[in-house]
Structure 1
């Protein structure tokens, strides 16, 4: 299976040569302007299918507010703001995303979710959120983001830095399938093309291992099969306490 997988991956890589060339020449940046529209459409379907899972996970958010304070949430890679509807009323939200073209859709989500207070939108990658102070937020939320950051380890270090002691890192991420499955096979074969479709998304990451090694004091993590396309069915969901 390994030889066949490598051979098929090579074929897909060859077919993706025009995309590789566009990326090398800096032309791929055009897609970054279109991607927010694509993600906005996809997110509607994702939220519908994952509604119960998200509602169950984010129900725990109020447990992490500091006594006498307003719950402060920082969302890494907030995209179009599809998580806002699940946040408790009255909390303060800081939004970050490396793609400034999301702001149009983000504003729409903010208007539709006026039960929240929005502090600011910061154009920043998960690996470098230097404009956010140390130990300044109660919760960091990260959904479908660790698949596309350049460094999961550095992103988790940044999350740890900005979380106050006792705060929590909430996550929902798609991950690589079990190596014995055909899903694993097709994830690796189609990864070269998927990378461009998903704006840097990688469907072959063992993200749970990085969370286990990130130094959190407590980790609540579950592997689930999401009701989605086979390639992104394997998910992890949960939260980690600083």
Structure 2
């Protein structure tokens, strides 16, 4: 099916508002030995957590937050290693398990704010765009995989996704990594969308056109 794509804008942000819920902040406060988070005013929770975190050594704080977010997928040794590496490198952009990069970004930026820049400053991209099918009477709910494939024609060949996943972007084969590359995909009408990803994956310099056409083919499942 053919689509008309319009990239409205790409916003570069230091954090994704609303990612950390009040319950997340209360639980993290408890882990940083501030037990009164549940009775604190909700608007004060982020500031209280920043103060609680700053009482710890940076790598120790990173280990606590990483354990909270990733302990089901990483063992203690892996978490300790990442907590030290985070002070030197943008682990959230380099970690080989792509499906973890989003959570590593949110963890990194929480620590970046708490320590006034002791951690590298990673950035995210919020892409606002529309994807209108040529046959308007056909409504398809696009997946993250669909969206990345449709964006291909508007991205420069220097784009990291295209360089690493050229076959998946250009051929009608499955692209499971798309679920990790795009952290959030939102739409109210299946035409106008917002996606959130790392600036490392998509940024303003990656665009070669803000309006273009793309064809979405049905994925051929391997047998």
- After TM superposition, is the score higher than 0.5? no
TM-score, structure 2 normalization? 0.28
TM-score, structure 1 normalization? 0.26
Answer with 1 or 2: which has the greater Rg.
2
Q: Which has the higher contact order (CA 8 A, sep 6+)?
A: 2
